[in-house]
Structure formats: structure tokens, C-alpha cells
Amino acid sequence: MAKVTAYLRVSTTKQDVDNQELEILKYCSVRDIKVDTWFKLAMSSSKSMSKRRINELLNSLNEGDILLVSELSRLGRSLSQIVSIVDVLVSKKVEFIAIKQNIHIKDGEQDISTKVMVSTFALMAEIEKDLLSSRTKVALAKRREQGLTLGRKKGSRSSKLDDRVDEIQSLLDRGLNKSSIGKIFGVTPQSMSYFIRTRGLTPNILVKS
């Protein structure tokens, strides 16, 4: 028998999880759907897929099962990641519903509007990836020209953010402040400020062509 699973990824605020759960329950009530399993996680999207239990979620779903999310952003930290997860759901013939975006994929089939939306997301994901790569390369090249040290300064402690330094540099170049970047990666503004300072990262605002 097909089961219904709801996935909620939230910040540490109770209000956020309540809002998502209420939205899903309201959707199910109107359509006489009963949720069998709730995946509730209080953590940022910057955590790995395993920590966000995405792999566990996907492995638990079988053909004909239903997966509900309040909105697409709950699934991943980037468009490319979201698109890849949706592709897995389609290949497994899992019925997928993203309430806010009005996306409904059933038995691997999509209506025209959903096909257009998913295709658009896929295209945007590629653009997002290319832009990030391009901006990072330009920023790093500029820093090399200026004779600035790249990466972790000698004597500074290692950090879980060291693997994300290129992304952080790109966000700085786009004008995001340390507090906003900290939220994206799930760390405090103080921790992000320390990381940026000890890695010698400075914003290089790129001139739009």
C-alpha cells in the first residue's frame, strides 16, 4: 500500500516548523490525504544531504508513494541539488507535491505547466552553476594579481567552511554581508566574520558587462 511522507526542513525556530506543518495539513485536509510519516529536521540547508536525511528519505520511498513538501527550497541548498532530487523521485515513480509552487508529479508524469517549471529550474540550475564558477574564477584571479594569499592563513584553525571558501568568496563579491552568508551556511555571524578574516577574504565587487 502506498504511503504518504511529508518532509519538513526548518530553522531552529518553532514557528517555522509549525507554519510548514500547518500548510501541509491544510493541503491534505482538503484532499482527504493522511500523512503516514513526517521527516522533521531543524537545521540549515548548508548541512550535507546525509545530515538532512535526504538519502534516507529517498531510500524510504517506493513506486506509488507520495512525498509532500511545503515548498521546493526545503529539499536542497541549490537549484541543481533540488533538480537532481526531483529527477530521482521521477525515476522512482514517486508522486511528488510541492505545495507553494503548485508542482504535482504523479507516476513519473508531469502536466505541461509542471514540465515547463521543472525544465526552467533545470536551466536556472545550470546558469547558477556556471555563474558561480565564473565569478569564483574571476575573483580568485584578481586576488592572485593583487598578490593576496588564498585559503587558510598559517596558524588559523581548520574549519568546516574551508571546503566552501570559493562559494563564500563569490557571495562576498555579490555584496552579501557576513550575517547573511552565515545564515546560508548555518553558522553565527561571529563565526563567519572570524572565518572571512582569518582566510583573508575580501569582497571584490565584479563589474557587470
Cα→Cα distances 113→39, 75, 104, 136, 175, Å: 28, 20, 10, 34, 34
* Residue 183, C-beta contacts closer than 8 angstroms, at least 6 positions apart: 44
Sheet holding 37-42, edge to edge: 37-42, 4-10, 66-69, 95-98, 103-106, 109-110
Residue type at position 13: T
Placement of cell 541539488 in the chain: 81
Q: Annotated catalytic sites, by residue?
A: 11
C-alpha angle 104-109-113 in degrees, rounded to nearest 5: 55
CB-based burial label for 86 (10 Å; 0-12, 13-18, 19+): buried
Q: Indicate the SS3 state at residue 158.
A: coil
